[in-house]
Amino acid sequence: MREVDLAVVGAGPAGLTAAIEGAKRGCRTVVLDMNPRPGGQLIKQIHRFFGSREHRAGTRGIEIADSLFHEAASAGVEVMVEAEVYAIHDSTLEVVAQTNEDSLVLLSEEATTSRSRPLSIAARRIILATGGAENALNFAGWTLPGVMGAGAAQTMINLWRVLPGKKILMVGAGNVGLIISYQLIQAGGEMVAVIEATSRIGGYGVHAAKISRAGVPILTSHTIISASGESRVERAVIAKVDASWRIVSGSEQELEVDTICIAVGLHPNARLASLAECELCYSPSLGGWVPIHNSRMETTISGIYIAGDLSGVEEASTALEEGRLAGICAAASLGKERAGDYDDIKAIEGRLLGLRSGPFCQHRQDAKQELIGIGEAQCPKQ
């Protein structure tokens, strides 16, 4: 049994910033991530972020991941990759980790030469930053090879450098669908169309403009009816939908495609939180069932905190801020406060409010306020 002050599950933007703030305040901190490389979804983000300078506008996601990992390492955080947390009970995490005898801190090149073994980690505080998972879409033929999550396609092209197909249909015109469509073009794929069931493009205009300029049609009020093919996807049938989501008969058209990417949103990956018996609540704006948390990011289970997409599906920028907030608050609850913590928290809250304002994001601010309101009533008092 290993003992630490703070164990963080997930080395994405939320998990890494949480660990950095905890370690800076003197917590013995470990971060566990199932992937071979820290950074979460950031390591697939090859485009420059935009927004404000505080949120690293102009920087590519993958560079943010690297700088966060180095910041964590120099703050004394132990980052364990290829470490799968398969259970949680009584403030203990059960992990299968790729470890050798001497060291628990392993990066990918070493991990391949070591063996998996089980490991228990007892933590005084736990921060869950397990992220989101892609929503599936059910239609005839959706289990054929060639139908995949847009995030999976992005992993294939940007991490493994494998093009999933040559002629691609994207289902969903939110930011994920638009950005990944553009990256598929950059990787050498042909985007046959981007379809969107609602009557408007959900993602930012700048992303939609890029793929429109590349000649890709974005068809709103369109849905997918079926995929078919001998042993994999060879064609898709799409059709118009009316205002009450009914298929407009006669509007069906067949597209010759070999790949169908699904980008219809994400939901919080709340499995470990549920296993820890954290109470969840249903919030459509935040992606579905989300663990209840208070303004300190603590759940209904004392000592368990959450941050990032797990606490409501948003963006990398909000995950970076929520992680810091959770890290500061978890450390403070162990008596490891730092002068200036109060001001830091107020500054983070201000920046989160900024990120959740505007026509695209106000509904998330409202949903978050509601969630935190429930959390203030239900979560343990400090």
Chain contacts with another protein (rule: CB under 8 A): 1, 34, 84-89, 94, 96, 116-120, 133, 135-136, 138-140, 142-143, 267, 270-272, 274-275, 280, 282, 284, 288-289
Distance in Å, CB of 100 to another protein, minimum = 16
- CA distances, 54 to each of 58, 276, 348, 355 (Å): 11, 34, 11, 11
Closer of 64 and 148 to another protein (Cβ): 148
Closer of 87 and 206 to another protein (Cβ): 87
Measured from the Cβ of residue 281, the count of other Cβ atoms closer than 10 Å reads 16
Closer of 204 and 289 to another protein (Cβ): 289
Distance in Å, CB of 66 to another protein, minimum = 26
Distance in Å, CB of 22 to another protein, minimum = 23
DSSP strands (E only) in 172-330: 190-196, 218-220, 222-228, 235-240, 253-256, 259-262, 266-268, 280-283, 288-291, 304-306
CB contact at 8 A, 33 and 81: yes
Distance in Å, CB of 84 to another protein, minimum = 4
CB contact at 8 A, 345 and 321: no
Closer of 1 and 243 to another protein (Cβ): 1
Measured from the Cβ of residue 253, the count of other Cβ atoms closer than 10 Å reads 13
Please tell me the distance from the alpha carbon of residue 180 to that of residue 195, in angstroms, as a whole number. 13
Distance in Å, CB of 353 to another protein, minimum = 26
Distance in Å, CB of 275 to another protein, minimum = 5
Closer of 108 and 228 to another protein (Cβ): 228
Closer of 118 and 380 to another protein (Cβ): 118
- HEC sequence for 130-191: CCEEECCCCCECCCCCCEEEHHHHHHHHHCCCCCCCCEEEEECCCHHHHHHHHHHHHCCCEE
